[in-house]
Structure 1
Amino acid sequence: MKTKLSLLSAAILSATLTLAPVASQAAIPLAVDGQELPSLAPMLQETTPAVVAVAVSGTHVSKQKVPDAFRYFFGPNAPREQVQERPFKGLGSGVIIDAKEGYIVTNNHVIEGADEILIGLHDGREVEAKLIGTDAESDIALLQIKAKNLTALKRADSDKLQVGDFAVAIGNPFGLGQTVTSGIVSAMGRSGLGIEMLENFIQTDAAINSGNSGGALVNLNGELIGINTAIVAPGGGNVGIGFAIPANMVNNLVKQIIEHGEVRRGVLGVMGQDLTSELAKGFGIETQHGGFINEVMPDSAAAKAGIKVGDIIVSVNGRSIKSFQELRAKVATMGAGTKVEFGLIRDGDEETVTAVLGESTQAAEAAAGAVHPMLQGAKLETASSSGVEITDVAQGSPAAASGLIKGDIIVGVNRTKVKNLKALKSALEDQKGSVALKIKRDNTSLYLILR
């Protein structure tokens, strides 16, 4: 039977369940010879309130080209394409990670294209959620709700996980309501599956099904170790092979979204491939895991750190890596400006180098364009004092046409003060028409109008 990989679909419009009768059994005692039986119940009583149901609705818009014969029959004014709108609804899961701020993590594919996001809390409350930011390449989305008496999950150090550690999955499969399953960590650092652009999955045999997307994978202490996101599903259901995004990876992405409003992807500046047994033999080394470096980009973070062609990177911040894909995923989710220690093998000797990750110029300019179309082409950073600094402006870009120059600091939008990038994004979010940016340039203040 052919095996296929699938995301845990959020688009559950209906589910037909066949319930088989279960033979009656004697009640299982809570204790034997006065000794209490082990149970996950005490831990789950503390953790399940932090896992929520996510219901979304929206409209899919598709465009189809109108055949030339049709346009010829109805004349030159006939439309060139036909637009179709189809409403959709979906269900998924989410995890409260900050009770005070109301932050909830889920999968990007759960909320993608949604016009409305409704959160179902463990106590029965339903609260509308606001989308704070997403990262499609790693399939993470951050939501926020306004509600009291929330419970948040603590996050474990997922780099310390080992194959064989117990794991518990909590989510909302098939829209049944909150469901708990258990298993173990089956593998670490799974990549090359073609599910996401950035893959560094925890594999587990805890039963995961459609609707578990965005739900929690926790350890026996009730700490979050991963966000469930995909399964191997030859027949469309659980076969004991599920994948979760590691908590450390989620933590890095969430920090960036909260601080900047989007992910500032880190760039090392290398090209490479997985270390194969043939390469290892050719280089006379015993290790079979790591990332072999084929190329180092000039003036990149890697070049400045002294990484060279032919090096084999075997660890990141003291944690071993299995493949170049795992290296790529870890670096890309750490964020620009992060100081990272790389363990490598060069000419058979072990060495350690430290690099400060760069940022993709293309990504930074695109991120600015997401804040406001007329900021596209500018690189934005929260200023050391207060405000948002323009650290670079691409020639001929909308930002340049708006009059922005390198060194400008945005301190206000209309009458609203702006202290950081998150505040700038929030201030511009609901603005329509022309917007006045208050700028500090050298020792003077001025206003620039974005139209």
Structure 2
Amino acid sequence: MKKNANRVVIAVFMMFSSLIGASSVTAALPFFGEDKPPSLAPMLEETMPGVVSIAVEGTQVSRQRIPEMFRHFFGGPSEQVQERPFRGLGSGVIINAELGYVVTNNHVVDNADKIIVKLADGRELQAKKLGADEQVDIALLKIDSDDLTAIPLANSDKLRVGDFVVAIGNPFGLGQTVTSGIISALGRSGLNIGGLEDFIQTDAAINRGNSGGALVSLDGKLVGINTAIFGPNGGNVGIGFAIPSNMMKSLVDQIAEFGEVRRGLLGILGQDVDAGLSEAMELSVSKGAFVSEVQPDSAAEKGGLQPGDIITSVNGNSLNGFFELRAKIATLGAGSEVKLDVLRKGKRETITVVLDDAKQSVVEAKEMHPALEGATLANGQTKRGDAGVEITELVNRSPAARIGLEEGDVIVGVNRQRVNSVSELRNILDEAKGVIAFDIQRGNSTRYIVIR
């Protein structure tokens, strides 16, 4: 009777082979035995040693600017500095056993003075942070030890909605915990979780402490790094998000080689293709990235992109919208060759572009206006993902600091004119006369700074 039951289970499992792929089925079949129920245990026994727990300690520094009038009245420094110690827990994934590379979320180790990695076998090792990308929320750590186990990477571009996945991490500091589910959606963006979003959505239970942990396929390959959840009370409601493994690998390779991310830049402005735009322009597609403007002398212009083009795929992988395009381009390194499938006036074309280096757009703000002296500007984006000009560096007590600008501010408008790039800001300021009102995004808040 038990043998017949097992045969039925195997037959049912084979019916789902089209969902999880032939290779996954082949890998999963040994989990069935004559006297054992179906199980993921054999795969997890090999995979779980590649997932680590991370404990951090550090000091949170907060600065509060003191208004000029109170400084003059009381005397003392221009800002008040407060330091507060903190501790935190998270998860990480070993991606290279020989080099001791561990990937986690940047928010897990940000501002940490001490990072301790605890392996599945109980060993505790001090880790060094090699670099990070705050916009995507990825950090690369290094540990020195023998007998490490790395999780092999999957090609996340091949994932499909409905594929089975397993999440492994350290929720609430409990230690290694495994949950399972499916891929609920791909290419999720516009969630205001980070600056660059192209998430895998899953219903595998992800909770606080799972950040930086592994999302793996049934054959034990890493498909994503668990990053965030959507939950009104901070707990799991079946909507979790992971950074795709291909995006993570591109960033980690740049950090390992250069010590930083050398972000690619295409040089276009645009928006999502939706039903309204598709109907208005009589398009034959209902999703993709609509190109509204091609910036002069950019990679896009050199490659032949034109306003009105609709980009439908990147390197052969279909595209849902403009935010997804921006995330994919930004995480590819400067100098990368990218193939874009484009719909132009009803005809399909393939265009090859070589991405610019986003850092080449960094300028000293004093070149644009005397009141901005002391600020360094670069093309950037707000927390919501809108394009703008970011204050990447700010000299204390400089003219720019005195008018109220802060490092990390994003200029999105001047005198009610939209600003998307450094070049646009320069052109607007060249023509501006009299009072100038800057529309600033600071975190999730909006403010205006007026100079006369």
TM, length-normalised to structure 1: 0.71
Deviations 1:203-248 (A, max 9, x none): 0000000000000000001000000000011122100000000000
Q: Which residue is 2:291 aligned to?
A: 293
1:352–1:71 Cα change, 3 Å: closer
CA distance in 1, matches of 2:102, 2:204: 22
Q: Which residue is 1:225 aligned to?
A: 223
Contact 1:162 1:185 (C-alpha < 8 Å) held by counterparts:
yes
Q: Which moved more, 1:59-68 or 1:187-196?
A: 59-68
Task: Report 1:89-238 matches (<5 A).
Answer: 89-238=87-236
Q: What SS is found at the alignment partner of 2:55?
A: strand
1:355–1:78 Cα change, 3 Å: closer
Q: Which residue is 2:54 aligned to?
A: 54
Contact 2:263 2:359 (C-alpha < 8 Å) held by counterparts:
no
**How far did residue 304 of structure 1 move?**
1.0
CA distance in 2, matches of 1:65, 1:167: 47
Q: Which residue is 2:258 aligned to?
A: 260
1:64–1:309 Cα change, 3 Å: closer
Q: Which residue is 1:240 aligned to?
A: 238
Q: Does 1:332 align with 2:338?
A: no
**How far did residue 361 of structure 1 move?**
3.3
1:78–1:327 Cα change, 3 Å: closer
Q: Does 1:304 align with 2:302?
A: yes
Contact 2:161 2:184 (C-alpha < 8 Å) held by counterparts:
yes
Runs of 4+ aligned structure 1 residues displaced above 2 Å come to: 31-36, 63-72, 75-83, 282-286, 361-366
Contact 1:256 1:262 (C-alpha < 8 Å) held by counterparts:
yes
Q: Which residue is 1:28 aligned to?
A: none
1:283–1:35 Cα change, 3 Å: farther
**How far did residue 305 of structure 1 move?**
1.0
**How far did residue 71 of structure 1 move?**
7.0
User: Percent of pairs identical after alignment?
Assistant: 60
Q: Which residue is 1:83 aligned to?
A: 81
Structure number with higher relative contact order (C-alpha < 8 Å, ≥ 6 residues apart):
1
Contact 1:284 1:348 (C-alpha < 8 Å) held by counterparts:
no
Contact 1:291 1:324 (C-alpha < 8 Å) held by counterparts:
yes
Contact 2:284 2:346 (C-alpha < 8 Å) held by counterparts:
no
Contact 1:264 1:364 (C-alpha < 8 Å) held by counterparts:
no
**How far did residue 63 of structure 1 move?**
2.8
Deviations 1:77-105 (A, max 9, x none): 54554322110000000000000000000
Q: Does 1:282 align with 2:250?
A: no
Contact 1:56 1:115 (C-alpha < 8 Å) held by counterparts:
yes
Deviations 1:39-80 (A, max 9, x none): 1100000000000001100011123456899878xx855455
Residue-pair matches, total: 338
Q: Which residue is 1:424 aligned to?
A: none
CA distance in 2, matches of 1:288, 1:327: 15
Contact 1:264 1:363 (C-alpha < 8 Å) held by counterparts:
no
CA distance in 2, matches of 1:292, 1:211: 38
Q: What SS is found at the alignment partner of 2:194?
A: coil
Contact 2:32 2:38 (C-alpha < 8 Å) held by counterparts:
no
Deviations 1:247-279 (A, max 9, x none): 000010011111111000001111100001122
Q: What SS is found at the alignment partner of 1:336?
A: coil
**How far did residue 285 of structure 1 move?**
2.4
- The RMSD of aligned alpha carbons is 2.5
Amino acid at match of 2:313: S
Task: Report 1:330-369 matches (<5 A).
Answer: 330-362=328-360
Amino acid at match of 1:55: A
Amino acid at match of 1:188: L
CA distance in 2, matches of 1:114, 1:309: 45
Task: Report 1:298-447 matches (<5 A).
Answer: 298-362=296-360
Contact 1:94 1:215 (C-alpha < 8 Å) held by counterparts:
yes
CA distance in 2, matches of 1:237, 1:91: 16
**How far did residue 284 of structure 1 move?**
2.3
Q: Which residue is 1:40 aligned to?
A: 40
CA distance in 1, matches of 2:155, 2:78: 54
1:345–1:79 Cα change, 3 Å: closer
Higher normalized helix content (fraction of residues):
2
1:99–1:283 Cα change, 3 Å: same
Contact 1:283 1:347 (C-alpha < 8 Å) held by counterparts:
no
1:101–1:80 Cα change, 3 Å: same
The gaps in structure 1 that reach 5 residues or longer are 1-30, 367-376, 378-451
CA distance in 2, matches of 1:325, 1:67: 38
Q: What SS is found at the alignment partner of 1:110?
A: helix
**How far did residue 288 of structure 1 move?**
1.0
Q: What SS is found at the alignment partner of 2:47?
A: helix
Q: Which moved more, 1:316-325 or 1:357-366?
A: 357-366
CA distance in 1, matches of 2:344, 2:70: 66
Contact 1:296 1:309 (C-alpha < 8 Å) held by counterparts:
yes
1:156–1:365 Cα change, 3 Å: farther
